[in-house]
Chains A and B, each alone.
Chain A
Amino acid sequence: MTELAIHAADQDIGDQLCEQVRSAYTDRTPLRIVGGDTRGFYGRPVEGQALNLAAHSGIVSYDPVELVVTVRAGTRLSALHAALAENHQMLAFEPPIFGEASTIGGAVATGLSGPRRPWAGAARDFVLGTRVITQEGKLLRFGGEVMKNVAGYDLSRLMAGAQGTLGVLTDISFKVLPIPTATHSLRLPLNLADALKKLAELGRQPLPITAAAWHNGELFLRLEGGKSSVSATQTRLGGESLEASFWTSLRDHSHAFFQLNDGQALWRLSLPPHTAPLKLDIPETDIFYDWAGCQRWLKTSLEASTLRAACEAVGGHATCYTPHAQGGAVEPFTPLNKVVEKYHRNLKAELDAHGIFNPGRLYAAF
């Protein structure tokens, strides 16, 4: 196995982090877990002593032939991407990068995935194993560095998206995939109804589509795969070619769409596949359809309750990305149903009895 160092500053500060958690547990000091501090906007604000993982960085092991990389949580996404790209590999879930300091630990803790999500899978789908600091300050290992492992409960996937409220992620092992040989992105003028119809139709065929978005009268598609299939599909679909950076700008919210006007909040709607446009009083130009319509970005001043009711009616949910824009009164995440919430509380009580890990980040109660 290759031992790699991305830069000279790479180090393992696991012991130090455990020590800080141990004393926080004893003193019942809330901790605010932080890596590159680029995702603080996501979720509810956390008051607490900073537990800083940025210095806990570097690739612990990477064996391209095994398709597995193990990396410390503080490693920057840009550095990890570069190391993988050298071997023509990638994190297939395309984690958003919200700033140069963005770390892999934050990417997994928030569990966010980019445009390839519906075809390749989410962040949690690529997590094979983790090392986690428990409330007592013990560094434990769950999962592993193998593709298949069903021994014990899947604690590693549970940690993905839990936003540090159940423990501190220090090391993560991922399944990585080869970068596709060929890629081509295209844009087609199409109205929304026709675009959604076309996406459902294309979705039932074995085509090399790995991203699909719609905005302002245009359908955007990315094709990835072998040279032959990409070029055949390109010929079949036609359209004008589109620069690949379009997908990065959508992933990282650097696309012009994400500039908000006064009074607007940014919402993310997560909806079942093939959901018709919701009946909301929002101009079409203020909606961006990603994930073939399963993820929709909305710029609006509508009430949270209005948006959430509309989503709930079709089996989806809504997340507010700018809870502060409306005076901080908005809960960023859709409230849980009573039974589900009970088991969330139980889980939190078992794994973080004193509420020291990012208290209140997801919901006020835990």
Chain B
Amino acid sequence: MNILFDERLDGELVRRDKSEVLADLQQAVPEMTLLHREEDLRPFECDGLAAYRVLPMLVALPETLDQVKGLLMRCHALGVPVVTRGAGTGLSGGALPLEQGVLLVMSRFNQILKVDPDARLARVQPGVRNLAISEAAAPYGLYYAPDPSSQIACSIGGNVAENAGGVHCLKYGLTVHNVMRVDVLTIEGEAMTLGAESLDAPGFDLLALMNGSEGMLGVVTEITVKLLPKPETAKVLMASFDDVEKAGRAVGDIIAAGIIPGGLEMMDKLAIKAAEDFVKAGYPLDAEAILLCELDGVEADVDDDCDTVRGVLEKAGATNIQQARDEAERAKFWAGRKNAFPAVGRMSPDYYCMDGTIPRRELPRVLKGIAALSEESGLAVANVFHAGDGNMHPLILFDANQEGQLALAEEVGGKILELCVAAGGSITGEHGVGREKINQMCSQFQPDEISVFHALKAAFDPQRLLNPGKNIPTLARCAEFGAMHVHNNELPHPELPRF
């Protein structure tokens, strides 16, 4: 079942003549850069999920809020869909364009407006890169905590849209925990501030709702984030295991010892090999799994915790435990993990990255399930795992040039996500649903729950003009998806109309 927008399943879109829309927008917002020639549109045809490409009707590159507002008001009047894009690093096709839509690119809003060290806040525009915030805060001994692996390139606006995570979420939270306030333009072009510099705001928590809403409820135009004091020290332990299950159990044992590590990552044999070949991180090639456990905070506590964790790891059957001797070695250990995706990319022409989450106790069972799917399909799977918070990133290796392999990879990916849902988890921990996991939403949620999501959407954008087709599937799509997954001859959702 193709994930590209299908009006039969995803709802009809207004058809407008491209030249008519172009002329209208040029007149309404004359100073704004509007790309319309095919060769100019081409670089915007996909985001980080490069397997799917659609040429947008037009690309808008506004530089002022008035331009964004003017654009939204005209699109609203014309019924033309708007897909908002930041740096385009998203992995779920959240910024995949629409043929009949305008792609609104916010990358020119790239200013850090203010860093206030006493209030420990930074006010930034949405196109500012994640890492640039921490760099601007560094002279004050402060930083912005969420650190997705793409942090050198991804923008904070996209982080809000996806509620981005990273390797330090268990201790420091996701984007939603670190954003104080957002300024938003609605599809009608109204400006609205959600949240505040104070620690709460009156009314509903629309700020929480906006985080992770994938550009479906409004366009974020400014963000105030919380800054944290840089931990005095961070130390990392690397433990090798001869068995993936033992490593999984060790993760639980560390938490049970009352320790919340700054980062707790696991990699399996294939991922270890890929990373080691790529960045020479010093990983043990004979291990079935490694754990990277980072402890951060005040020096004296970190030393105590390192001793405790070392004891826990030994008891859990680690075959080798190594503590990074210095900052350089710590950076090296992390380089292997942070480059795991491109490292796997070197082993295989293509790879498909999944993002399911599970309760940690289910890890052995889910890993077995993944291994079985890998064997059955003949596609290798490397496992990288934010072990501390149960967020798995199985990487399915395939070759798109071989007939049928992309479809097979998608099928294996879909089944892995269904394993996660069956284990009590979720189809996405930090990459978002986007277009990529639109069908799997139907396995995680019941039609009634999906209807509530549509009701939320209708409160902000009743004409469904903001990023249509992403994040929340239509019931028609779920019926179609369900029809392909008939178990025991029982059709799921028999109450829904089908195509």
Contacts and interface: CB of A to CB of B under 8 A. Distances in A.
B36 interface: no
A203 B203 contact: no
Contacts of A181: 258
Interface residues of B, number: 96
B209 A153 contact: yes
B231 interface: yes
B50 to A, nearest CB: 21
Nearest to A127: B208
A67 B165 CA distance: 18
Contact of B427 (A125, A151, A270, A316): A151
Contacts of A162: 204-205
B246 interface: no
A229 interface: yes
Contacts of B433: 150-152
Contacts of A154: 163, 176, 208-209, 211-213
Nearest to A181: B258
Given A178-B258, A204-B142, A161 B460 contact: no
Contact of B199 (A208, A295, A351): A295
B229 A152 contact: no
Interface string B194-219: 10111111111110110111000100
Contact of A228 (B212, B258, B300, B446): B300
B452 interface: yes
A340 B203 contact: yes
Contacts of B208: 124, 154, 157-158, 160
Contact of A229 (B230, B298, B432, B456): B298
Given A64-B256, A65-B360, A339 B186 contact: yes
B425 A124 contact: no
Given A154-B176, A200-B118, A140 B297 contact: no
Contacts of A124: 205, 208
Contacts of B209: 153-155, 157-158
A270 B390 contact: no
B229 A206 contact: yes
Contacts, number: 276
Contacts of A363: 203
A284 interface: no
Contacts of A66: 252, 255, 359-361, 390
Given A178-B258, A343-B206, A206 B424 contact: no
Interface stretch (B40-48, B167-175, B375-383): B167-175
A265 interface: no
A110 to B, nearest CB: 11
Given A148-B169, A232-B298, A272-B119, A206 B231 contact: yes
B455 A203 contact: no
Interface in A78-123: 88, 111, 117-118, 121-122
Contact of A161 (B142, B204, B459): B204
B142 A67 contact: no
Interface in A219-258: 225-229, 232-233
Contacts of A271: 198
Q: Which of B186, B191, B300, B388: most chain A Cβ within 10 A?
A: B300
- Residue picked from A138, A146, A208, most chain B C-beta under 10 Å: A146
A181 to B, nearest CB: 7
B200 A88 contact: no
B288 interface: no
B173 A125 contact: yes
Contact of B391 (A147, A200, A233, A342): A147
Given A146-B425, A336-B202, A178 B260 contact: yes
Interface of A: 1, 63-68, 88, 111, 117-118, 121-122, 124-125, 134, 138, 140-142, 144-155, 157-158, 160-162, 166, 177-179, 181, 200, 203-208, 225-229, 232-233, 270-274, 291, 294-295, 315-317, 319, 333-337, 339-344, 346-347, 349-351, 362-363
Given A154-B208, A346-B459, 6 more contacts: A152-B449, A177-B260, A226-B305, A270-B198, A339-B191, A343-B206
